[in-house]
């Protein structure tokens, strides 16, 4: 049996990459514990495993009480029926090591997939998370990664973004998201060939999941309109993405190196009359027509908030009347200072 054990360990090392030394070390620890438990022995023992023929011996370690500095002596105490214990323990250790190796392989596989979009099948829901079956593992879709208003029905197929992979004793714990901007990015890469071919480039994305997303795109080919490519013929491409996000509104705008032009584009669909910028602190004052103020700010400030996230600039939006009134007030203050 012992020779077969060594052969099995060598085969396991070839097939699954589980180091034979690691299993033998684990086997020694397990056999030591088994021996002490079965034979009710509290003395120190050492397990020896011959890696050539698989012979297993048990040695009792005896230290001199009067002279602890003396080298300990060992006496072989291998029981006659220890082969049965060896077989049972070896099976348990090997099974455990195979499970651990499989979990490590699975973890490494999914760890390298952070940032990918996956399609899974909804398994069950509770107040904390939804379980999504990805085939090899069940992923967690936590409540805070779920889009407000979305309902996930058992058996329903759903696209998610892998945001995190944790290593646990039960195997990899995959965390997925429906709110991450990366999900929008991956959906555009899937639906727009020009993006996957790197003709069109996604420069930035700002998202309030379930409500609205702004995406800035640029073209590396002057003959390709980046916004048109993303929208698709009769809006077919962006419609597929909107449908996947259950009606979330998507604004696609042209990216520009000039912050003034980029900020104007980002505030679409509102028209912008003037942009005053402070490059040092990345702050911009935007002037819009009087009838465009509410459109530029958006419901509960959403359009302005997303434009700021998209561009990376702090922005303050004013109507034409507000801006002129503030200019007039500033002029009066300067005149008063001169007179004083």
Which residue in 9, 18, 11 sits closest to 105, CA to CA?
Answer: 18
**37 and 31 Cβ atoms separated by less than 8 Å:** no
pTM above 0.85, yes or no: no
Task: Provide the CB-side half-sphere exposure for 334 (13 A, CA).
Answer: 6
Contact present, 327 and 287 (Cβ < 8 Å) = no
pLDDT tier, 73 (very low <50, low <70, confident <90, very high otherwise): confident
Instruction: State how far the Cα of 162 lies from the Cα of 173, in Å rounded to an integer.
Output: 11
pLDDT value at residue 92: 85
Structure tokens at 95: 């099974």
User: Higher confidence at residue 180 or residue 15?
Assistant: 180
* Whether pLDDT at 2 is above 80: no
Sheet holding 283-288, edge to edge: 274-278, 283-288, 314-319
Cα–Cα distance between 59 and 77 in angstroms, integer? 5
Q: What is the mean pLDDT of residues 299-307?
A: 96
- pLDDT tens track for 226-278: 999 999 999 999 999 999 999 999 999 999 999 999 999 999 999 999 999 99
Q: How far apart are CA 98 and CA 106, in angstroms?
A: 12
**89-145: per-residue pLDDT in tens?**
888 888 888 888 778 888 888 899 999 999 999 998 888 899 999 988 899 999 999
Residue 268 to residue 128: CA distance in whole angstroms: 37
The phi and psi torsions of 137 (rounded to 5 degrees) equal -140, 160
Cβ atoms of residues 165 and 110 within 8 Å: yes
Hunting for tokens 């230290």 — which residue is that?
A: 63
Domains and CATH numbers, the chain: 2-111 (3.30.1480.10), 117-177 (2.40.50.140), 180-255 (3.30.300.20), 260-340 (3.30.300.20)
Whose tokens are 């696209």? That residue is 159
């Amino acid at each position: 049996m012992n020779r077969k054990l060594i052969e099995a360990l060598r085969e396991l090392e070839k097939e699954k990459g589980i180091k034979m030394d690691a299993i033998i070390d684990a086997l020694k620890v397990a056999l030591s514990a088994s021996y002490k438990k079965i034979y009710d022995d509290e003395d120190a023992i050492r397990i020896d495993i011959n890696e050539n023929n698989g012979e297993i011996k048990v040695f009792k370690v005896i230290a001199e009480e009067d002279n602890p500095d003396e080298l300990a002596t060992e006496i072989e105490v291998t029981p006659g029926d220890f082969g049965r214990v060896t077989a049972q323990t070896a099976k348990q250790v090997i099974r455990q090591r195979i499970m651990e190796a499989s979990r490590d392989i699975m973890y490494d596989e999914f760890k390298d997939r952070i940032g990918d979009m996956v399609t899974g099948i909804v398994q069950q829901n509770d107040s904390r998370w939804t379980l999504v079956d990805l085939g090899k593992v069940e992923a967690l879709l936590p409540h805070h990664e779920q889009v407000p208003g979305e309902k996930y029905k058992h058996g329903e197929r759903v696209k998610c973004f892998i945001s995190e992979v944790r290593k646990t004793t039960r195997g990899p714990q995959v965390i997925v998201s429906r709110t991450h901007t990366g999900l929008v990015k991956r959906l555009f890469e899937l639906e727009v060939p020009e993006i996957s071919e790197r003709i069109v480039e996604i420069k930035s994305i700002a998202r309030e999941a379930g409500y609205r997303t702004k995406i800035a795109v640029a073209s590396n080919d002057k003959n390709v309109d980046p916004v048109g490519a993303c929208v698709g013929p009769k809006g077919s491409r962006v419609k597929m993405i909107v449908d996947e996000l259950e009606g979330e509104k998507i604004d696609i705008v042209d990216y520009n190196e000039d912050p003034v032009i980029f900020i104007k584009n980002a505030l679409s669909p509102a028209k912008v009359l003037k942009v005053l910028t402070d490059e040092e602190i990345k702050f911009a004052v935007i002037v819009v027509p009087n009838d465009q103020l509410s459109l530029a700010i958006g419901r509960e400030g959403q359009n302005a908030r997303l434009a700021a996230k998209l561009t990376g600039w702090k922005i303050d939006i004013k109507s034409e009347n507000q801006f002129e009134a503030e200019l007039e007030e500033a002029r009066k203050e300067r005149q008063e200072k001169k007179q004083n």
